[in-house]
Amino acid sequence: MQEDQIHHRRASEIEELSKLTGHLAHEIKNPLSTIKVNLKLISEDIDGNDQKSARALKKIAVVQKETDRVEQILENFLRYIGKPELRIIETDINELINDMIDFYAPQAHSHLIVIRPSLYEAPLICRVDLDTLKQVILNLFINAQQAMTGPGELIIRTSKLQNFATITISDTGSGIDRQGLTKIFTPYYSSKPAGSGLGLSIAKKVIDAHKGTIKVDSEPGKGTAFTIQLPLKM
């Protein structure tokens, strides 16, 4: 009984902290938007024809870029602490994956990445939220792309395992060491210098909300594979 009370108190404290930090993030976004608008207005007032004006515009561009980055950090944080509001519909996972491959194909081509799909021969009907699941898949595609510094392959498979649809997204990139694997879904952990460290944490939260699982296997120098399992409609 005492352990239950402690657990309940901790859960309440975490919920209250999430509300407070979420409110703080929203409060920061308001003046940040004002800063962005004023930076744009200032840059429009500078003609840039002389060397001094050109330097000023360059410095403004740096500040604009950093404010965009802060705004993205806040957006990712708010998505992470928020409870995913799922709009569930019945979807064929194969169709969803095909849509995402078509969407991502031009970007893959520009980075010399060959997409190799291998989809299950029959429909895999799951009850999912299309927008959030597509965002998870796209995030995994982009992670794979960033892991491949040169030409590479993005292997996308779907299959059926008992009562689950399985999506496996593999790359031929640099791989992840053992220490990195233990932290891969930890908030704010990132092996990329400019990474927010929330993309995979949000992905896990979304898959958990679908009552599914996501795991990763990797070997340094050989590549990485993310596997998602989602309950099939029964």
Do 119 and 208 belong to one domain?
yes
- 134 vs 131: CA distance, rounded Å: 5
Same domain membership, residue 190 and residue 112: yes
User: Does residue 94 share a domain with residue 55?
Assistant: no
Angle between helices 199-209 and 130-147 (to 10 degrees): 140
- Residue corresponding to tokens 């950090």: 73
Answer yes or no: do 72 and 115 share one domain: no
Please say if the pLDDT value at position 8 is more than 60.
no
Question: 91-122: buried (b, 16+ CB within 10 Å) or exposed (e) per residue?
Answer: bbbbebbeebbeebeeebeeeebeeeeebbee
Q: Rounded CA gap, 192 and 172, in Å? A: 17
Q: Do 217 and 160 share a structural domain? A: yes
Shared domain for 92 and 76, answered yes or no, is no
Question: What pLDDT, in 10s, does the model give residues 15-32?
Answer: 565 566 666 666 777 777
Number of Cβ atoms within 10 Å of the Cβ of 77: 20
Last residue of a domain, one of 58, 81, 104: 81
| pLDDT of amino acid 79 | 66
Give the tens place of pLDDT for each residue, 109-120: 999 999 999 999
Tell me: do 225 and 110 sit in the same domain. Answer: yes
Distance between CA atoms of residues 56 and 43, nearest Å: 8
- Of 120 and 48, the structure prediction assigns the larger pLDDT to 120
The 3 state secondary structure assigned to 168-223 is: EEEECCCCCCHHHHHHCCCCCCCCCCCCCCCHHHHHHHHHHHCCCEEEEEEECCCE
- Domain span including residue 158: 88-231
Structural domain ending residue among the three candidates 50, 81, 112 = 81
Q: How does pLDDT run across 219-231, given as a tens digit for each residue?
A: 888 899 999 999 9
Q: Are residues 181 and 208 in the same domain?
A: yes
Place of tokens 């704010």: 188
Three-state DSSP at 155 gives strand
- What pLDDT does residue 71 have? 78
What string of DSSP letters covers 61-87?
HHHHHHHHHHHHHHHHHHHHHSPP---
For residue range 142-181, what is the model confidence (pLDDT) as tens digits?
989 988 988 999 999 999 999 999 999 999 988 888 888 8
The predicted-structure confidence for 62-92, as pLDDT tens digits, reads as follows: 888 888 878 777 776 666 666 667 789 999 9
Whichever domain contains 108, its CATH number is 3.30.565.10
Same domain, residue pair 151 and 206? yes
Residue 212 gets the label, from left (phi > 0), alpha (psi -120 to 50) or beta, of beta
The verdict on 147 and 51 lying in the same domain is no
Looking at the structure, tell me whether residues 103 and 75 fall in a common domain.
no
Residue at a domain's end among 41, 58, 81:
81
pLDDT tens, residue by residue, 118-147: 999 999 999 999 988 998 999 899 989 988
Binned at pLDDT 50, 70 and 90, residue 217 comes out as very high
**Together in a domain, 94 and 162:** yes
pTM > 0.75: no
Q: How confident is the model at residue 191 (pLDDT cuts 50, 70, 90)?
A: low
Number of domains into which the chain is organized: 2
Residue 162 DSSP code: T
- Report whether 114 contacts 156 (CB < 8 A): no
Contact 169, 162 (CB under 8 A): no
